[in-house]
Structure 1
């Protein structure tokens, strides 16, 4: 009895302190029980009144359809008028039945809790109003930046209770009851990484807060008490029992906005009807909707934003709306074409494609796909490695002859000029003393002189090595960089890895050693950058960064300006048009991609080039019309480097040993490009390649 009386005395003293702190706030501004100053508390109440909190970032395709979400806590902010009356009745019935009467602190509830807690000695449990809970939850889930701050915001101390009570009273002076209730419902956790009633309505029922029914509202109000223990998917019986208790309280005569007893009885008979799987969108790039096809594009968006100053941490709570340039239709066609040539689970072979829309003010990325799905389960043919936009440790073969031709055109050569094509050629310029660099032509490439245009279509190695000798390797490398291989050549080493301090870039290495093999496409390359090369040519020689962004808006809907490299006229319109015409015969009879073009039903002008590396570890195809540009790279993706063999009709390619292979750019890569682009161009007018204007 003596112990109980002492505890009661202590609680009475605490009550007196609490009343005094609220009645004389300035006296306790720097007191022992209150950590923050009066000014800090007022600032916090002002911040809460604004309702500023971490928000989910949404990424969409070009038409506004969601592509991905990024968040620490899944939230959908909801104004008070968009929250159903049943939700407001449910939460006040179970959490604070005198919410509409008190002024931030419920003295009746506080004294009752004190009396009930005498036996346990607790002085901090129970009796928190919704306003006080709003303060606590805002501190824990919005203001706290780390685990230490979160623990402090939840500490079972007298100081914390006094702090919350003081700020609660301040909020009641500056906000209406409806605003406080909406603020609380927007910040409180509902379990399953879901915060706020807007996100909870979507997560559990796939609906919006204004449409929540009585049983739905009651279940959400029930979950708030213990989100982990009352998870309706893992503990449905306890969740149902708690939900029905809430429904009974909603019909109680002590509830100001009560529901009828008949409505309550009907509601209690309803099943939980919770979504399975939950309606909360996945967090990140991997699995939303048709994420297997969209993941590579999403990953490129993340990388592009990071380089522009918006990293993942900013996205997770920033509430940005990011509208991308991605065409879902183009992506689906490209994905379908890539998988048709190399099925998803084909061991050790990747088939990647990028599509870019040309333009003189923007190069918009429309699709980034691969036969691989984007994800973390390798057994299902997935990869989370960026094999489309990032630089791969494989070459594009004779595609690089484009850069030698462009350098020659810039120096005054014409596409109708004849170049020699011997069966073999030994270069003393590129070889070592007594050991010349000797090359031959690929199987089926006949020797004999031909125009530069015909040489681009038939792709003789000997002729382009001789041409490269005349124009200079440095000029060819500079041209490749200007047209689009900027990261591939200047930001990575010879293996395609990001440069470390003191290392030479691929461009520097080729120039230093005067590597004549550059025109044969042995350098590491990005599929996206190859596609952007073709977009540059198709845009009259104007290079633009391959952007995945249409617009970026902040949480308030205001545009966000990002630092992006400006577009550049990197070659004259004359050189660009001459190069386009020079590449205009690859799909015609005698061209290296004629069979692939014919099999797809391709029937419009196109500038194109095939390429194959020496040991058949990779092959490429690039092509463009005035409306769309694209590139495909097929390469060995396993741990063991082997040549790739192309099977017969209807059979997928396969690895065939280090010394085997018959993969060419006109086979798997060419068929992938033409099959995808035939569909992508449906409905677009047939446009001619640009005519060659007079040389300036």
Structure 2
């Protein structure tokens, strides 16, 4: 709690006079603090006093901005981000040498005077008057602290920063009044602590802790005398006395500080002399700020976390309010990123795609049933150099993706199938599925105004051999375009749109999908995160969960910790369990015997779908196991590269398919991400196959024919056994009743064959 003000009923002007030790607070004295005269600015002494009285009584001190640490799900550091690199510490964690050094060089009478050092003011007035300009200031440590509060409050606004630092009487009056308040409420030790935490020490370091780490790679409490003197000397001019860029000037300034410490009795002359001779011995730690420093290739995920914070209303009503909290920092953000999954993502990308390839690849992994984003990576590293990018290909434009998603190709077809199943179409649904056909019309829409193929657009299959009729399971496995166009024409576009709405499948721009038949073939741009989250609903038996990247956030304000609310995943039923299970059964067929065989996992249940767009500008594989869903996109961010006669990751491809490049990337990323995780199983559905059923019937008839043929043969053998037995005890078996001979008990004399009783009676002597 702040100390009770002890003004004793005095007016602000009288309090100021008390601190100054004068009976009247004149504008001339105030001006003399930093300006040669008042009249030059047209401000009378009387006006200065009135302005002083009218100022608000309380200094609003904003929380000091600090670095934010982003952690993975296991508590490992992903990256540190900050607008100002600062870690607030108490006096007990600051070297006594540094505390004495900063007081000695900046305000040696700090513990003797009030908010304003009258001797210093008079000295400055006298010198400035003689020079005709502002050659010397007289700000106390308290006044400097107040000025730094104004600068901190200004943030990155250049206009506000200029106002906070400009050399005007108005600013000096404000500084003075607030300095009086601060002296009364905080006391000397707290003012010194605050000053050391707020002050800029150059090289992006704010506060002594960040400065100690920057220049000497050690905490502030461990600074030696020479090191403390160096940091104290930087404060007056961080650029001029920067030891990294001008060692000689920095050493000269350090030695000045040491000399001053000896003069005021903080150290002995011998100690000062020894410290002045000490080498500089910097051990610089370069600033590691921002997502570009993220480990395990998690720069894009780090940026996604930042974007979530800046766009989600849970962190503030407006973007400006959210940005203020983010820039203030001091946050510890525990995310959903699974280090094992992330490492697997990066390993798979590195093994399959080179960063200097003409195309890129992006992977996003999501946990079904929770929406947790477990992995996110790209083949081109996060950065601003050659073959690097700050564009996150995995997310929508609003979340940091400069692109608006990518056409998904045939990976959209499972949504059409699910919509049809929800409408009651059987999984055995059959369509003629010619090799090529016009888009059928009219097609019903949600608006009631049918879509009509006014331009006569046509759609072909991938291969001329793909000619129907096909049923759903075969059409999905072979990815037959005309089948799904006919399916959309059958059920209408509205069921598809409603299902994709339930799965939150939107374009990368955030716009809803339009009601056009081409949507069934994945003609529109969608992000990998959207696709992975939507497919996760199949894995979780129809439950869709919104993706989340943040588990918890705590914020350090000063030395106090508080928890922040974070967005939660919202789960809702997007389709029936039966529909989801049927789609899983269909998509398991894709990896077992269809276009996705190269993506199939060997040791666990898995399902997925390939996708390749027009001119092979995009290739996809989206798939899942019961406990992990993943989407892989390969293509050019500019959509200019046709993946024909192309080398990717050092492997030549005459034509790229969803199964040939994205499939193996998905397989390897999923395999290692799931090591040590339960395998699980799908709730598969028995999908009738009329062709197989007919084949089974034919097989049964063939088996019956074989039985009849065998009976006839046995009958003939029985006859031979009977005759043979009469003669010399034949060894043949008896025949079946009614099938080639009478039943007779073997050899009447001494037969060795079996009796004919239904083909199995024992031989031997008669009667």
TM-score range, shorter chain: 0.7 to 0.9
Q: What is the DSSP-based 3-state SS (H/G/I as helix, E as strand, rest coil) of the residue aligned with 2:590?
A: coil
Query: Which whole-Å CA distance do the structure 1 matches of 2:268 and 2:594 have between them?
Result: 78
Q: Deviations over 1:8-39 (max 9, x none)?
A: xxxxxxxx997467468998899522575557
Alignment of 1:39-54 (within 5 A): 40=55, 42-44=57-59, 47-48=60-61, 52-54=63-65
C-alpha distance in 2 between matches for 1:106 and 1:306: 45
Map 1:357-436 → 2, pairs under 5 A:
357-359=367-369, 362-377=370-385, 380-390=386-396, 392=404, 394-415=406-427, 417=428, 419-420=430-431, 422-427=433-438, 429-430=440-441
Query: Which of 139, 146, 161 is equivalent to 1:128?
Result: 139
Partner of 2:595: 592
Structure 1 unaligned regions, length at least 5: 1-15, 493-504, 655-660
TM-score by length of 1: 0.82
- Which structure's relative contact order is higher, taking Cα pairs within 8 Å and 6+ residues apart? 1
Pair 31,207 (structure 1): closer, same or farther in 2 beyond 3 Å: farther
Which of 639, 662, 666 is residue 669 of structure 1 equivalent to? 662
Aligned pairs (5 A) from 1:230-629: 230-250=241-261, 252=262, 254-255=264-265, 257-258=266-267, 261-262=270-271, 265-266=274-275, 268-275=277-284, 278-282=285-289, 284-285=290-291, 287-290=292-295, 293-309=297-313, 310=315, 311=319, 312-347=323-358, 349-359=359-369, 362-377=370-385, 380-390=386-396, 392=404, 394-415=406-427, 417=428, 419-420=430-431, 422-427=433-438, 429-430=440-441, 438-443=458-463, 447=467, 452-488=472-508, 491-492=510-511, 505=512, 507-508=513-514, 511=515, 515-556=516-557, 557-561=561-565, 566-588=570-592, 590-597=593-600, 602-629=602-629
CA-to-partner distance for each residue in 1:77-112, whole Å, 9 max, x for gaps? 222222221211221121122222223333343444
Task: Give the structure 1 partner of residue 47 of structure 2.
Answer: 32
Structure 2 distance, partners of 1:693, 1:175, is: 76
Distance 2:421 2:228 in 1: 71
Normalising by structure 2, report the TM-score: 0.75
Question: Structure 1 81/605 Cα, relative in aligned 2: closer, same or farther at 3 Å?
Answer: same
**Alpha-carbon distance in structure 2 between the residues aligned to 1:429 and 1:148:** 62
**What is the CA distance between 1:160 and its match in structure 2?**
4.0
Greater Cα offset, 25-34 or 181-190: 25-34
Query: What CA deviation, in whole Å up to 9, does each residue of 1:662-695 have, x standing for no partner?
Result: 111101100110111111111112211235599x
1:430–1:28 CA distance, 2 compared to 1 (3 A): farther
**Contact preservation (8 Å) 1:331, 1:368:** yes
Correspondence 1:132-211 to 2 at 5 A: 132-142=143-153, 146-211=157-222
Once the two structures are overlaid, the 10-residue window that deviates more, 614-623 or 631-640, is 631-640
CA distance in 2, matches of 1:371, 1:35: 65
Q: Contact conserved, 2:66 with 2:82, CA < 8 A, in 1?
A: yes
Distance across 1 between alignment mates of 2:149 and 2:453:
75
CA deviations 1:464-487 (Å, max 9, x no partner) are 233232222221232223223134
**Contact 2:360/2:634 (8 A) holds in 1:** yes
Contact conserved, 1:624 with 1:630, CA < 8 A, in 2?
yes
Provide structure 2 residue ranges, at least 5 long, that are not aligned to the other structure.
1-13, 28-44, 397-402, 443-451, 688-767
Contact 1:114 1:123 in 2 (8 A): no
Q: Compare CA radii of gyration and give the structure with the larger one.
A: 2
- Partners of 2:79 and 2:295 within 8 A in 1: no
CA distance in 2, matches of 1:107, 1:367: 62
Cα deviation, 1:494-550, whole Å, max 9, x if unaligned, reads xxxxxxxxxxx5x23xx2xxx333222222111110111111222222222211111
CA distance in 1, matches of 2:638, 2:438: 35
Match of 2:231 among 199, 206, 220: 220
Report the Cα distance in structure 2 between the residues aligned to 1:372 and 1:538, rounded to whole angstroms. 30
8 Å CA contact 1:124–1:161 kept in 2: the answer is no
1:612-669 residue CA offsets vs partner (Å, 9 max, x unmatched): 1132111110011122110011123347353444559x73467xxxxxx611110110
**C-alpha contact 2:485 2:517 (8 A) present in aligned 1:** yes
Distance in 2, Cα, partners of 1:105 & 1:611: 74
Q: Retained in 2: the 8 A contact 1:398–1:612? A: yes
Could you give the per-residue CA deviations for residues 293-341 of structure 1, whole angstroms, max 9, x where no partner exists?
Answer: 2222123223322321354444112543332222343223212322322
The SS at the match of 1:352 is strand
- Kindly indicate whether the alpha-carbon contact (under 8 Å) linking 2:434 and 2:469 is maintained by their aligned counterparts in 1: no
Q: 1:389: Cα distance to partner? A: 0.8
Structure 2 CA distance for partners of 1:42 and 1:67, relative to 1, 3 Å = farther
Q: Kindly state the Cα deviation for residue 446 of structure 1 after the two structures are TM-superposed.
A: 5.0
Which 10-residue stretch deviates more, 368-377 or 69-78?
69-78
Kept in 2, the 8 Å contact 1:395–1:523? The answer is yes
CA distance in 2, matches of 1:675, 1:125: 68
Task: Give distance in 2, aligned partners of 1:35 and 1:299.
Answer: 50
Please identify, of 189-198 and 421-430, the stretch whose mean Cα deviation from structure 2 is larger.
421-430
Indicate the SS of the match to 1:225.
coil
Secondary structure of the equivalent of 1:99? coil
In 2 relative to 1, CA 27–103 (structure 1 residues): closer, same or farther, beyond 3 Å?
closer
Distance 1:129 1:627 in 2: 63
Structure 2 residue 85 is the aligned partner of structure 1 residue 74? yes
- In the alignment, the residues of structure 2 paired with residue 37 and residue 17 of structure 1 have an alpha-carbon distance, to the nearest angstrom, of 11
Quick one: structure 1 residues 452 and 422, their matched pair in 2 at CA, closer, same or farther if it must change by over 3 Å? closer
- CA distance, structure 2, for counterparts of residue 353 and residue 144 of structure 1: 37
2-side partners of 1:692 and 1:229: how far apart? 75
Displacement of 1:245 in angstroms is 2.4
- What per-residue deviation string (whole Å, max 9, x for no partner) do you get for residues 39-81 of structure 1? 745301xx44xx7333444333323444344443322222222
The alignment's C-alpha RMSD in Å is 3.4
* Higher mean displacement: 144-153 or 100-109: 144-153
1:264 Cα deviation from its structure 2 partner: 5.8
Q: 1:602 to 1:270 in 2, by over 3 A?
A: farther
Alpha carbons 1:57, 1:318 under 8 Å: kept: yes
Structure 2 distance, partners of 1:221, 1:585, is 71
Distance change >3 Å, CA 18–CA 396, structure 1 → 2: closer
Note the C-alpha offset of 1:179: 0.5
- 1:406 Cα offset (Å): 0.5
Write the distance in 2 (CA, Å) between the matches of 1:17 and 1:562: 47
**Helix, strand or coil at the partner of 2:293:** coil
Distance (whole Å) between structure 2 residues aligned to residue 651 and residue 148 of structure 1: 53
